[in-house]
Structures are given as C-alpha cells and as structure tokens.
C-alpha cells in the first residue's frame, strides 16, 4: 500500500488519482499508524514552503516523516515535497525544513525573458551514476515533464542528483539517496512519462 501524506497540500488528489490509475492501493492519510504500516510513502505539495512546514508541524507529521525516511522504505517527495526534505528555503527565511537531505531552496533568477514561476513542460537531463536513477528506468534522456515552481533546489551533495533541468539556472530536478526520492516536477501531471516514473516508484522493493 502507498500512503500519501495529507497535510492540506494542493496536489494530493491528483497524486492519488495517478497511483490508482496504475492499479495501486492508496491511502490518503495523516494517521501516524497508517503511515508507519505503509509499504511506500509519498509527500506531495503545492504552496509556500513556510506554510507547508507549519502544516506538517501542526499535524504532528515531522517526527513520523523523519522516522520513515530513515527506516528504509521507499519515500517520494513531489514539488514542495522535495523542497521540504532539505534544510531551508529563500521563500521562507528563518523556517527550517525537515533536514533529511542537505541543501538549500533558492529563488529562480529573474531576467532573460523568463517568466516566474517556471510553469510548463521542460526537458530533463538524466544522471545515472552508481546505480542511482531508479525512478527513471526506461525513461529516455531529454524527456519532457511538467514544472510549476518559483524556487529550485541546489543540493549540497551533487552525487544525489539524478535529473537536472535548465531555466536560467541549473535546477536539481530530481534526487535519490538510499530509500529517499524526490522530484521538483510533477510526475502526476507529466502524461505517460510521469506515470512511468510513478510506476517505477511503485515497483521499488
């Protein structure tokens, strides 16, 4: 069973619908017992970094997420769910993230005719090293996926980065460290490519 963490984030139902379309058993929950018993856990998210952290704290989910992420079961962060896994964000100065992974969330720079937020389809460059990139098994290089964000990840350890995108700056678009996976883009909105990525996650052992 795949548990999707319910903390009043915006894209929870679309993530649920995508996994259900793949034939997966899904529970949308903030119940710690259900989360601990799930085979895999997903942290989705759309919105402000600080507000999302506040909601995780309000619902008592921070220690549960840290426990699950350190416990070996596959864990997937999506969009703000990726950002929350890191230490801090320029969007919400003074607010600490979960700190499960090392790195900062930075504002996408203005200029060059770029629109902020970065919204729409963008190709990704896949980085496969030391057996990483399991989310992208069977995914072609320069595949297009769907982004909606104004802030981007700069990981402290680039060895965890499994995909990048270019939008005036190199965006660390996906990471993988042990059992923890995350994507800045929205696989649930990325058509067949996104569904293939979610299927790869669902099939992890």
| Residue positions annotated with a catalytic role | 79, 186, 188
Rounded Cα–Cα distance for residues 175 and 160 (Å): 5
State phi, psi for 182 to the nearest 5 degrees: -160, 150
3-state secondary structure of 51: helix
Q: How far is CA 101 from CA 43, 140, 161, 173, 195, in A?
A: 14, 27, 11, 14, 25
Q: What angle do CA 124, 126, 129 make, to 5 degrees?
A: 160
């Amino acid at each position: 069973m795949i548990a999707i963490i319910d903390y009043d984030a915006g894209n929870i139902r679309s993530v649920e619908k995508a996994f259900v379309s793949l034939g997966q058993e899904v529970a949308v929950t903030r119940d710690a017992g259900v989360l601990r018993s799930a085979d895999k856990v997903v942290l989705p998210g759309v919105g402000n970094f600080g507000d999302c952290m506040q909601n995780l704290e309000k619902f008592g989910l921070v220690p549960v997420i840290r426990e699950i992420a350190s416990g070996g079961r596959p864990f997937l962060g999506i969009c703000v769910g990726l950002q929350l896994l890191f230490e801090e964000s320029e969007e919400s100065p003074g607010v600490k993230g979960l700190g499960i992974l090392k790195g900062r969330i930075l504002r996408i720079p203005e200029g060059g005719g770029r629109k902020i937020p970065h919204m729409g389809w963008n190709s990704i460059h896949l980085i496969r090293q030391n057996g990483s990139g399991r989310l992208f098994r069977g995914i072609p290089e320069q595949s297009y996926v769907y982004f909606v964000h104004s802030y981007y990840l700069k990981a402290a350890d680039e060895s965890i980065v499994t995909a990048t995108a270019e939008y005036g700056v190199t965006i660390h678009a996906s990471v993988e460290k042990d059992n923890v996976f995350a994507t800045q883009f929205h696989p649930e909105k990325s058509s067949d490519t996104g569904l293939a990525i979610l299927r790869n996650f669902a099939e992890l052992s």
